[in-house]
A and B are shown apart, each in its own frame.
Chain A
């Protein structure tokens, strides 16, 4: 009988709660790497957050990084970051804050060196104050979202489940941000959106597991809380994996099309965060949220008594 077959019938027998030490160590290592990376490398915040200017031009003249750099230097723009896109077919130049005249001469210089039309150059300039406003708003949205979700899950299920879910969510969040820090990917408002979306996914996955747990708690009176959680997770494991797969496939295709075929950078910003976040979300609802909940609930009097009772039954041979 194949693993896939058992998965499809919800007959897997994985002991998620019993193996929690292993899961917690894996998560702990991932978290430690993320936090260390955040401390050392920080995040590559996009100009939308820190202010500055970014220009993008096609490159029919085939200019290389050095050509573009000397052109920018000649135009009086120092410290520009120059990136080749699409195998050198396009150029992206990121600069500090520019006034209108500087922006104008930068665009002129870029147009000459790359041989692309002046009107075909895409440009974005952002003031630093606005950037911090966007960041503040995003963080507010995040805080409000977490608050509302705690209320929603507490109402729909129970408070401890809400906290366990939020713990898993913060886990996913840190890992996603850690990946951004490690890879040096640009963090843009699009990334923030993607991160907020992940929160939805991560929580939804957790809610489905917990929903099953509370259904089994009502139905079973001869199982410990840990066993109930294990049973629930094995029952919904197939769904969790298929859901993640069907969510990852479209996102993965954005990542693939975006990075290998067309180089549409906004799409990429979304896709990387979504991809990492959904993967981490599926993983954490099974290995972080549920074991945490089990550990916590098993300290309650009712469940301590139940565990003792089950242990006595096993000892006396009645199972």
Chain B
């Protein structure tokens, strides 16, 4: 008896305390786009696009969004083989959103004219109307412009602004790029291979750079992706200013250590897929205003609470004292579910969408069913002449089998939906899946103990409201 009370209190403490702790530490569920407002862009690549190419494209988009500034927690996810879902919470200008993510990456190699120290981030201040105060040059993203332009280098190359010339080579001039490791010197780098046409262009641009003394910023070749300098390697001291780097092959070293390895891999992918950019088609743009999101959330919560109250009333009328167990059980279920969403939101980026809220409301029905299956068993046993405590114990064993079968079907449905579906449907599947698994735990660790205790208490036998009363 005492052990069962302790067990029950532990479950209640975990559920209610867990929720309180989660809320206190700010682990509230992460709301999806449709509940907080923002823009979602779904992009489809052509059939047969490799997964690696899409990964690189996602990488490029992430960089662009970072440059965009002021986007809270953007998410970019690959869904299926050819679909990328970009969510930009709080972004209400859908045109801008499409521009940022919908265009393919454009790669170019450019001569460097000068390096100016500065604190400007990538892509900041781009746009044709912007004229740089110091140089008077137009800051532009249009790679076809033949005039000199000013580009900003990444933070990783030191905060400096590179003043670069027109494109000497473009992505199509690169035939391949592979990362390599040189074991003797423990140096990482990228082997660059150029097309026949690219080889000539590369030789002349490197010849120009080699004419400057070592250490001069003009010895560098800027590798530019979407108006963003991804790397600016300097031409080696032994390269002749007459011939440049000829033969259509070159190596770019990135240095030693893990950082250098990552950089080599990243640079190689940029170089390779800059040549073969992924063509995305904008398949769906979905913009939800903040007010509509807030309304939907309110509607969902209202419907959920109203539904719970109605279910509670029915359970109390039909199952009397057992209904109390079900109601407390539903609060355990609800509290744990919200806490879990908070936790998963933080740890795995799982968001609670409108479809997810619906999934939760649906799962209230599933949980209620587990109680009904169990309570009906108890009633059946009582009518067969069992004592209340035995009816409860034996009933659970039988009912738990049915509950497991039921939840298996639901979990099966949830997993299939999650694997096969796109977009909103996934949110629904996540809620349904989490709720189904939770239902099994609540039945085993809460309901069983609570009904056992209730059977031994004054509410077990005697009176219309007791467990026995419900069976009569």
A interface residues with partner B (beta carbon < 8 Å): 8-10, 48, 56, 58, 100, 103-104, 119-127, 129-130, 133-134, 137-138, 140-141, 144-145, 148-149, 152, 156, 189-190, 192-193, 196-197, 199-200, 203-204, 207-208, 211, 235-236, 238-239, 242-243, 245-254, 256-258, 261-262, 264, 266-267, 270-271, 274, 278
Closest chain B residue, CB of each to CB of A11: B383
**Cα–Cα distance between A262 and B306 once the two chains are bound (Å):** 14
Interface residues on chain B, number (Cβ under 8 Å): 75
B336 interface hit (Cβ, 8 Å): no
Given the known A-B contacts A10-B380, A249-B307, are A266 and B283 also in contact in the complex, defined by CB atoms under 8 Å? Answer: no
List the one stretch of B135-143, B211-219, B243-251, B292-300 in contact with chain A.
B292-300
Contact indicator per residue, chain B 34-55, by CB within 8 Å of chain A (1) or not (0): 1000000010100000000000
**Cα–Cα distance between A145 and B471 once the two chains are bound (Å):** 38
Given the known A-B contacts A126-B284, A246-B315, A254-B358, are A145 and B95 also in contact in the complex, defined by CB atoms under 8 Å? Answer: no
| A residues less than 8 Å from B307 (CB atoms) | 249-254
Given the known A-B contacts A122-B289, A193-B355, A251-B362, are A127 and B423 also in contact in the complex, defined by CB atoms under 8 Å? Answer: no
Contact indicator per residue, chain B 367-402, by CB within 8 Å of chain A (1) or not (0): 011001100100110010000000000000000001
- B289–A119 CB distance below 8 A: yes
Q: Which of B178-224 contact A (CB under 8 A)?
A: none
5 closest A-B pairs by CB: A250-B307, A247-B365, A130-B283, A246-B368, A262-B299
Interchain Cβ contacts under 8 Å between A and B, 19 examples? A123-B94, A126-B283, A189-B422, A189-B425, A193-B355, A196-B417, A197-B428, A200-B412, A204-B410, A211-B402, A246-B369, A250-B308, A250-B310, A250-B361, A251-B361, A253-B303, A253-B306, A254-B358, A270-B358
Closest chain A residue, CB of each to CB of B297: A264
| A residues less than 8 Å from B92 (CB atoms) | 119
- A148–B405 CB distance below 8 A: no
- B402–A208 CB distance below 8 A: yes
**Cα–Cα distance between A100 and B93 once the two chains are bound (Å):** 12
- A239–B372 CB distance below 8 A: yes
CB distance from A260 to the nearest CB of B (A): 11
CB distance from B93 to the nearest CB of A (A): 8
Instruction: Give the contacting residue for B298; candidates A249, A250, A262; CB below 8 A.
Output: A262
**Cα–Cα distance between A133 and B94 once the two chains are bound (Å):** 23
Interface centre among A238, A239, A258 (most CB of B within 10 A): A239
Additional 6 contacts, C-beta under 8 A, given A192-B425, A199-B413: A8-B318, A9-B383, A121-B289, A197-B432, A208-B406, A266-B355
| A residues less than 8 Å from B93 (CB atoms) | 119
**Cα–Cα distance between A297 and B95 once the two chains are bound (Å):** 63
- A250–B304 CB distance below 8 A: yes
B23 interface hit (Cβ, 8 Å): no
**Cα–Cα distance between A106 and B424 once the two chains are bound (Å):** 26
**Cα–Cα distance between A145 and B354 once the two chains are bound (Å):** 24
- B372–A246 CB distance below 8 A: yes
| A residues less than 8 Å from B83 (CB atoms) | 133
| A residues less than 8 Å from B124 (CB atoms) | none
Q: Which of B277-320 contact A (CB under 8 A)?
A: 281-292, 295-296, 298-300, 302-304, 306-308, 310-311, 314-315, 318
| A residues less than 8 Å from B306 (CB atoms) | 253, 256-257
CB distance from B333 to the nearest CB of A (A): 13
Closest chain A residue, CB of each to CB of B290: A120
- A137–B420 CB distance below 8 A: yes
**Cα–Cα distance between A274 and B417 once the two chains are bound (Å):** 16
B234 interface hit (Cβ, 8 Å): no
**Cα–Cα distance between A318 and B402 once the two chains are bound (Å):** 36
Given the known A-B contacts A250-B308, A266-B34, are A145 and B289 also in contact in the complex, defined by CB atoms under 8 Å? Answer: no
**Cα–Cα distance between A103 and B282 once the two chains are bound (Å):** 14
**Cα–Cα distance between A98 and B361 once the two chains are bound (Å):** 36
Instruction: Give the contacting residue for B368; candidates A144, A200, A247; CB below 8 A.
Output: A247
Contact indicator per residue, chain B 409-432, by CB within 8 Å of chain A (1) or not (0): 110110011001111110011001
**Cα–Cα distance between A100 and B290 once the two chains are bound (Å):** 22
Interface centre among B94, B308, B354 (most CB of A within 10 A): B94
Closest chain B residue, CB of each to CB of A192: B425
- B422–A261 CB distance below 8 A: no
- A123–B287 CB distance below 8 A: yes
- B358–A267 CB distance below 8 A: yes
CB distance from A188 to the nearest CB of B (A): 8
Contact indicator per residue, chain B 338-369, by CB within 8 Å of chain A (1) or not (0): 00000000000000001100100110111011
Closest chain B residue, CB of each to CB of A268: B299
- B303–A258 CB distance below 8 A: yes
CB distance from B433 to the nearest CB of A (A): 12
B159 interface hit (Cβ, 8 Å): no
- B416–A122 CB distance below 8 A: no
B interface residues with partner A (beta carbon < 8 Å): 34, 42, 44, 80, 83, 92-95, 98, 281-292, 295-296, 298-300, 302-304, 306-308, 310-311, 314-315, 318, 354-355, 358, 361-362, 364-366, 368-369, 372-373, 376, 379-380, 383, 402, 405-406, 408-410, 412-413, 416-417, 420-425, 428-429, 432, 470-471
| B residues less than 8 Å from A129 (CB atoms) | 44, 281, 283
- B376–A261 CB distance below 8 A: no
Closest chain B residue, CB of each to CB of A117: B289
CB distance from A185 to the nearest CB of B (A): 16
| A residues less than 8 Å from B432 (CB atoms) | 197
Given the known A-B contacts A121-B289, A253-B306, A264-B295, are A196 and B413 also in contact in the complex, defined by CB atoms under 8 Å? Answer: yes
| B residues less than 8 Å from A100 (CB atoms) | 95, 98
- A249–B310 CB distance below 8 A: yes
**Cα–Cα distance between A165 and B365 once the two chains are bound (Å):** 21
| A residues less than 8 Å from B470 (CB atoms) | 8
Given the known A-B contacts A9-B379, A190-B355, A207-B406, are A130 and B299 also in contact in the complex, defined by CB atoms under 8 Å? Answer: no
Instruction: Give the contacting residue for B303; candidates A207, A235, A267, A278; CB below 8 A.
Output: A267
- A122–B409 CB distance below 8 A: no
**Cα–Cα distance between A94 and B358 once the two chains are bound (Å):** 24
| A residues less than 8 Å from B402 (CB atoms) | 208, 211
Instruction: Give the contacting residue for A140; candidates B283, B298, B420, B428; CB below 8 A.
Output: B420
Instruction: Give the contacting residue for A124; candidates B285, B296, B408; CB below 8 A.
Output: B285
**Cα–Cα distance between A254 and B360 once the two chains are bound (Å):** 12
CB distance from A286 to the nearest CB of B (A): 16
CB distance from B102 to the nearest CB of A (A): 10
Closest chain B residue, CB of each to CB of A243: B369
CB distance from A72 to the nearest CB of B (A): 18
- B373–A239 CB distance below 8 A: yes
- A193–B416 CB distance below 8 A: no
**Cα–Cα distance between A140 and B420 once the two chains are bound (Å):** 8
- A266–B303 CB distance below 8 A: no
- A257–B471 CB distance below 8 A: no
CB distance from A165 to the nearest CB of B (A): 11
**Cα–Cα distance between A256 and B423 once the two chains are bound (Å):** 26
| B residues less than 8 Å from A134 (CB atoms) | 422-423
**Cα–Cα distance between A301 and B292 once the two chains are bound (Å):** 63
| B residues less than 8 Å from A104 (CB atoms) | 95
